Amino acid sequence: QKEVEQDPGPLSVPEGAIVSLNCTYSNSAFQYFMWYRQYSRKGPELLMYTYSSGNKEDGRFTAQVDKSSKYISLFIRDSQPSDSATYLCAMSAGDTGNQFYFGTGTSLTVIP
């Protein structure tokens, strides 16, 4: 079983829609949860960073962590064509650089 599971999509939505992206994980020790956005042929860009459970909001983006279900989500409100990218979840158990686990990414297209 993979440490992190993420539906690869592709996901296609109309402009203005609310998008929900999700990851599940198996390691209950994970405490740090990140979402990255990656445009085609570019490096990932850190979008959201949360610690432990709860919600975190930043503009149109909301990150949600449910540790009891081992499930994390990223919501995008009022989606824009510029949000079209691959979204990667990442998580870690501690504070060392070698304990990072990435999902495979979900490809999102927002149609104008």
Partner 1 sequence: DGGITQSPKYLFRKEGQNVTLSCEQNLNHDAMYWYRQDPGQGLRLIYYSQIVNDFQKGDIAEGYSVSREKKESFPLTVTSAQKNPTAFYLCASSRLAVYNEQFFGPGTRLTVL
| Comparison of 5 and 75: residue with beta carbon closer to partner 1 | 5
| Comparison of 42 and 77: residue with beta carbon closer to partner 1 | 42
CB of 17 to partner 1, least distance (A): 26
Separation of alpha carbons 68 and 60, rounded Å:
25
Beta bridge partners of 13: 110
| Comparison of 43 and 59: residue with beta carbon closer to partner 1 | 43
In the chain the beta strands, taken as DSSP E runs, fall at 4-6, 11-14, 19-25, 32-38, 45-51, 54-58, 61-66, 71-76, 85-92, 100-102, 106-111
| Comparison of 50 and 64: residue with beta carbon closer to partner 1 | 50
Q: Which residues bind partner 1 (CB under 8 A)?
A: 4, 6, 8, 32, 34, 36, 41-46, 49, 88, 90, 92, 95-98, 100-105
CB of 3 to partner 1, least distance (A): 9
